[in-house]
Amino acid sequence: MTNNQFDIPTAVLLLGLLYLILPIMTWIVLNGQRSKPVTLWCGGGLCIGVGFLMIGQRPSIPAWMSFPLANVLLFLGYWGRIQSLRLELDLALWRKSWVFVSVIVFLLIFEGIRVGLQDTHIRLGFVSFYHIVMASTVAYYALRIGRERHAPNAYLIVLVHVLLTSIMVLRVIELIISSDHSEAMVTSMVDVKAGVIGILSAVVSSYGYIGLMLDQAISNAAKLKTDKLLILNKNQQVIAHLDRQRSLGAMSASIGHELNQPLTAIMTNAQLAKLGIERGHLQIEQVPDILKKIIFNSRRAHLILEKVRAFIKPTIVEKRPVNLNVLVRETAELIKQDVMLHNIQLELIKQDSSLSVLGDATQLSQVLVNLYRNAMDALQNQSKGKITVSIQSIKNWAVITVEDNGSGITDVVLAQIGEPFFTTKPEGLGLGLSISKAIIEQHGGQLIMGNTPQGGASFDIRLPINPSNS
């Protein structure tokens, strides 16, 4: 034991062992989050550990190992940790050439003082100085992380590095005041304070770093959840967009109200004319006026219907290559939840993955969503409802077939299906298929409706294959 009641080589050895064990432990604990910053932090810790072990073994190993090599390792260890924290802050890594140059400069100065000047006093001053610079840089970046992420664990790293810096500043002051330049004096300065702070720094830094990384993992998981919710939300918005024509359901009350006025006027005028003729008091000169009113109101009604038609009429914005597999897969994603909710199986049959058409992907998705929705309606009372989607090429056509195992479409319905406002559903508008037909026809294709041999409904979307596909 020394007069400091602290055996310095043992303390340095202990510090070295701690710095060796703690990064390994950190590495093990952070299994699953081993990113580049974690590697740099742990690698830096290992370098520091080996450096301290070499210093602790000073009497029994060659001087070049325990002096220059050990200090270069400590220097590199700090570099690694600083880089790790910079990466956490999304800052660029310092260039390798800078690290190389700084190590060479460091080594030259260190060896110049040790071998050239042979002054332990200045050497210790220089070593303390680089510890101050490096430890305060670690504290600075940890502080920035703490502020940015509101992470208390980062402040633990700050705290121990500020302590480390302070103890080194004290040492420099002691060196300046002291006139004794002997090795014994220098050694006595590496006292109990430095030893305890060093050990504390090793333990608390690792604890703080693990905490910081685990907090980050938790917040990443929470972010992932929010992102997923956002995507879900976006999908729902797309569905809402695709369902534009269905919003006519909500609008139907006001459309009805608007139509009511001209239709009532037509009816009133027609009844007036009829009564007048029946009772014989309709003057011939009154007839043009009544007819004029009837014509005027018919036009009003027609205009209202035109407006509705314009609202639901598809207009192709632009035609681009649309990969049908991607289209079918993405549209299936949109209705996945609905399908699951209704306990229906949606099967996408694997096919030629390169088949594409030229068109408007959003509108083509709209057609598919309409077909899926209709199939879901048809499968409402089916215990094992299933929708099958397949893609194939027939001559110059790309064909998407949507089939269900519902009760199919009767001949009577088949004769009118696809006509605007034809529906067999109490709440239906009878617009889905007519709009779908219009979209496919605008794409130069056909929507073919029929039944499967098993009796369910079957819809073929035939589109011209993208010429660059064949």
Measured from the CB atom, the residue of 216 and 434 that comes closer to ligand ADP is 434
The answer to whether the CB of 42 falls within 8 A of the CB of 206 is no
Measured from the CB atom, the residue of 153 and 405 that comes closer to ligand ADP is 405
Give the separation between CA 197 and CA 193, rounded to whole angstroms: 6
Q: How far is the CB of 329 from ligand ADP (least distance, A)?
A: 21
Q: How far is the CB of 397 from ligand ADP (least distance, A)?
A: 22
Measured from the CB atom, the residue of 248 and 348 that comes closer to ligand ADP is 248
Measured from the CB atom, the residue of 80 and 456 that comes closer to ligand ADP is 456
Beta bridge partners, 401, equal 390, 460
Cα separations in angstroms, 386 against 31, 212, 342, 349, 448? 43, 49, 11, 13, 20
Give the separation between CA 4 and CA 395, rounded to whole angstroms: 94
Measured from the CB atom, the residue of 138 and 435 that comes closer to ligand ADP is 435
The answer to whether the CB of 213 falls within 8 A of the CB of 34 is no
Measured from the CB atom, the residue of 188 and 407 that comes closer to ligand ADP is 407
Helix or strand or coil: residue 293? helix
Beta bridge partners, 389, equal 348, 402
Q: How far is the CB of 342 from ligand ADP (least distance, A)?
A: 13
Residue ranges in contact with ligand ADP by CB under 6 A: 370, 374-375, 378, 404, 406, 409, 413, 417, 422-425, 428-434, 457
Measured from the CB atom, the residue of 61 and 413 that comes closer to ligand ADP is 413
Give the separation between CA 457 and CA 144, rounded to whole angstroms: 63
Q: How far is the CB of 38 from ligand ADP (least distance, A)?
A: 54
Give the separation between CA 407 and CA 374, rounded to whole angstroms: 12
Q: How far is the CB of 433 from ligand ADP (least distance, A)?
A: 3
Q: How far is the CB of 392 from ligand ADP (least distance, A)?
A: 20
CA gyration radius, the chain: 41
Which residue number places its CB atom closest to ligand ADP?
432
Q: How far is the CB of 334 from ligand ADP (least distance, A)?
A: 17
Backbone angles phi, psi at 281, to 5 degrees: -110, 20
Helix or strand or coil: residue 410? coil
Beta bridge partners, 397, equal 394, 464
Q: How far is the CB of 405 from ligand ADP (least distance, A)?
A: 10
Beta carbons within 8 Å of 261's beta carbon, 6+ residues apart = 297, 300
Closest CA to 390 of 377, 403, 379: 403
Measured from the CB atom, the residue of 175 and 417 that comes closer to ligand ADP is 417
